[in-house]
Chain A
Amino acid sequence: MNDTFSAKRFALLFKKTLLERPTQMFGFTGLILAVILILYFICKSQIGFGAAQNISFIWGLAGGGCFLASFVFSYFSSNANGSSYLTLPASHFEKWLCGILIAGILYPVIFLLFFRGIDSLFVAIFHNSLDPENALYKEQYNSVYIFSFTGRIALKVFPIFLLLTGISLIGSLYFNKAAFIKTAIAFCVVCFSLFALNWVIAKILFGNLDGAFPFHAVDILVGKEVGSVELPKKIFQAYGFAADYVVPVLFWVLTYVRLREKEF
């Protein structure tokens, strides 16, 4: 018997995971999508199309993804539920993969399809509302376009989604109760500590400090001017790659390690 992966066992586990908690799985996904629809609509009406697309894409993918991810392993809020989950005859790898599939593949695919759907609809409504006879028709028409999933914003949001979802997944295995809130607090504490530590070290090294951003740049006061000390380009690129891809992957892998080591 394969104790690491069996396609049949994985299919059973995946089916069980989805059908045993429909409210959490489908309900929360539906709720997130509904909130994003409302957010898109409000932002479009109040700020404009560009902002509506950017804000709802960022919150929908990164925010919604990490919110949903915190429920994927939320079996440990009760003794009975946690015991039942950990003693179910499926491997750690299958249980982890099931969580990854839901949080890392299924949700983003559903969200991207939904987002493309509402975005196309709103953009089409806008285009249809324009008067072709108007002298500014072409300019107005071209000012609003469908959000690109390969554009600058989207390419920035994908790594953030990976990072936040990974943190959320691992947080749900560390904190048995109110995992989402506790993970968010822990994340804020770590970020704050990192900024504070970075600032203190920069202050010691450069007395005339104006500002410091971890792993990025130190701004120093030179007379009345502010100069920026940046990392060498290659190191900065390497840092960017690590921050965008290596760190998120590390969190996802750590989730597997934590699940394997989980005692309850």
Chain B
Amino acid sequence: MVSIENLSFGYKKSKPLYKNLSLSLETGSIYGLLGKNGAGKSTLLKNLIGLLYPSAGKISVNGFIPKKRLPSFLKTIYFIPEEVFVPSLTIRRYINLYAPFYPKFDEKSCYDYLKVLDVATEDKLTTLSFGQQKKFIISFGLACNTEVLLLDEPTNGLDIPSKTQFRKLISSVFTEERMIFISTHQIRDLDNLIDKIVIVDKGELLLSASVNEVAEKLSFKTIKEMPEDSSAIFYSEDSLKGISVVMKNTDYEDSKVNLEHLFNAVTENPTMAKAIFNTKN
């Protein structure tokens, strides 16, 4: 379990990125961390792994304080940054040198994932394309079987078939003992993958809710015309079939959550979003 209490962080003291952010993430969920460019998604992930230290507040990941970067903590968490690093080694050599640091690493699974993602080479990793390198690190990270998996823009640099395979892989490796936290601004890549949504903007937590909760409280549909009383409409966008709207689900209708529309709705109406979802910053 991840607990963030009153987190404050800024690269410059005069310009805080997060101020008093509180958030709780449960094991057994796949979280999608959504935010605009520069919203602080990577910064939040880096605080969780201990690469950056909060200027105030507390972070606890499965009982560990990340900033200490203790080996007993680091072996339970794997971070896949947006830009991955691969040394000039073959896949076999990389696994041979890195895997022993992760006690739950499963070599067979790693090769299975590589097969699924279509990465097969006897050459050095540095000769692979960026996308191939990223797929290798994703496979390795998944095979480490850590309790917490942090992925920063994992689908950047992946081709369309790989994005689909990535979603399938994440679903297949997910267990109730794991927590997967995926940050992205490519919202569509997380469709049907995540079960909980976290939206941050301008250093504020705007939403932290499960997809079910969102579906309960909001309705996503396409209408022909805007009603006279549009107070229940949270967000609207013209589309080919009419007007796509996000509105309060007063009639308890079932609708499929459109992550992109939800994101736009929340970032354009942060106060309303916080009120609906009772979000505390």
List A residues at the B interface (Cβ < 8 Å): 1, 3, 6, 9, 12, 15-16, 19-23, 78-81, 83-84, 86-92, 94, 263-264
List B residues at the A interface (Cβ < 8 Å): 46, 49-53, 69-72, 74-75, 77-79, 81-85, 87-89, 93, 97-98, 100-102
- Give the residue name and chain of the B residue nearest to A22 (CB): B88
- Give the residue name and chain of the B residue nearest to A23 (CB): B88
With a cutoff of 8 Å between Cβ atoms, the chain B residues found around residue A6 in the complex are 71
With a cutoff of 8 Å between Cβ atoms, the chain A residues found around residue B100 in the complex are 12
Cross-chain pairs A/B with CB under 8 angstroms, 26 sampled? A3-B70, A3-B71, A3-B72, A9-B101, A12-B100, A16-B98, A19-B97, A20-B87, A20-B88, A20-B89, A78-B85, A79-B82, A80-B83, A80-B85, A83-B79, A83-B85, A86-B69, A87-B49, A87-B69, A89-B71, A89-B75, A90-B71, A90-B74, A90-B101, A263-B51, A263-B52
With a cutoff of 8 Å between Cβ atoms, the chain B residues found around residue A21 in the complex are 87-88
CA distance A90 to B98 in the complex (A): 11
CA distance A92 to B98 in the complex (A): 17
Known A3-B72, A15-B97, A16-B97: A86·B51 in contact at CB below 8 Å: yes
With a cutoff of 8 Å between Cβ atoms, the chain B residues found around residue A16 in the complex are 97-98
Contact B70 A264 (CB under 8 A): no
Contact A91 B70 (CB under 8 A): yes
Contact B79 A87 (CB under 8 A): yes
With a cutoff of 8 Å between Cβ atoms, the chain B residues found around residue A84 in the complex are 81, 85
New A-B contacts (19) at CB < 8 Å, excluding given A12-B101, A81-B85, A89-B101: A3-B71, A6-B71, A20-B87, A23-B88, A78-B83, A79-B82, A80-B84, A80-B85, A83-B51, A83-B79, A83-B81, A84-B81, A87-B50, A87-B74, A87-B78, A90-B101, A92-B69, A263-B51, A264-B46
CA distance A91 to B75 in the complex (A): 11
- Give the residue name and chain of the B residue nearest to A1 (CB): B72
With a cutoff of 8 Å between Cβ atoms, the chain B residues found around residue A264 in the complex are 46, 51-52
With a cutoff of 8 Å between Cβ atoms, the chain B residues found around residue A1 in the complex are 71-72
Query: How many contacts between A and B, using CB within 8 angstroms?
Result: 75
Which 7 pairs show the lowest CB-CB distances between chains A and B? A80-B85, A89-B74, A89-B75, A81-B85, A3-B70, A20-B87, A80-B83
CA distance A15 to B94 in the complex (A): 12
Tell me whether chain A's interface is mostly helix, strand or loop, or mixed: helix
- Give the residue name and chain of the A residue nearest to B152 (CB): A83
With a cutoff of 8 Å between Cβ atoms, the chain A residues found around residue B89 in the complex are 19-20
Nearest-Cβ distance from residue A239 to partner chain B, whole angstroms: 37
CA distance A53 to B45 in the complex (A): 54
Nearest-Cβ distance from residue B111 to partner chain A, whole angstroms: 20
Q: Which of A21, A87, A264 has the most CB of B within 10 A?
A: A87
Q: Which of B53, B70, B82 has the most CB of A within 10 A?
A: B70
CA distance A94 to B87 in the complex (A): 20
CA distance A165 to B80 in the complex (A): 33
- Give the residue name and chain of the B residue nearest to A20 (CB): B87
Nearest-Cβ distance from residue A74 to partner chain B, whole angstroms: 13
- Give the residue name and chain of the B residue nearest to A94 (CB): B71
With a cutoff of 8 Å between Cβ atoms, the chain A residues found around residue B82 in the complex are 79
CA distance A81 to B85 in the complex (A): 5
Known A9-B101, A19-B93: A91·B71 in contact at CB below 8 Å: yes
With a cutoff of 8 Å between Cβ atoms, the chain B residues found around residue A23 in the complex are 88
- Give the residue name and chain of the B residue nearest to A19 (CB): B97
- Give the residue name and chain of the B residue nearest to A81 (CB): B85
Contact A20 B51 (CB under 8 A): no
Nearest-Cβ distance from residue B205 to partner chain A, whole angstroms: 22
- Give the residue name and chain of the A residue nearest to B72 (CB): A1
- Give the residue name and chain of the B residue nearest to A12 (CB): B100
Q: Which of A3, A19, A23 has the most CB of B within 10 A?
A: A3
With a cutoff of 8 Å between Cβ atoms, the chain A residues found around residue B81 in the complex are 79-80, 83-84
CA distance A15 to B100 in the complex (A): 11
With a cutoff of 8 Å between Cβ atoms, the chain B residues found around residue A90 in the complex are 71, 74, 101
CA distance A262 to B93 in the complex (A): 28
With a cutoff of 8 Å between Cβ atoms, the chain B residues found around residue A3 in the complex are 70-72
With a cutoff of 8 Å between Cβ atoms, the chain B residues found around residue A20 in the complex are 87-89, 97
- Give the residue name and chain of the A residue nearest to B87 (CB): A20
Nearest-Cβ distance from residue B125 to partner chain A, whole angstroms: 11
Nearest-Cβ distance from residue A261 to partner chain B, whole angstroms: 8
With a cutoff of 8 Å between Cβ atoms, the chain B residues found around residue A87 in the complex are 49-51, 69, 74, 77-79
With a cutoff of 8 Å between Cβ atoms, the chain A residues found around residue B53 in the complex are 263
- Give the residue name and chain of the A residue nearest to B89 (CB): A20
With a cutoff of 8 Å between Cβ atoms, the chain B residues found around residue A92 in the complex are 69
With a cutoff of 8 Å between Cβ atoms, the chain A residues found around residue B84 in the complex are 80
Nearest-Cβ distance from residue B91 to partner chain A, whole angstroms: 13
CA distance A88 to B89 in the complex (A): 17
CA distance A87 to B77 in the complex (A): 9
CA distance A3 to B100 in the complex (A): 16
Nearest-Cβ distance from residue B43 to partner chain A, whole angstroms: 11
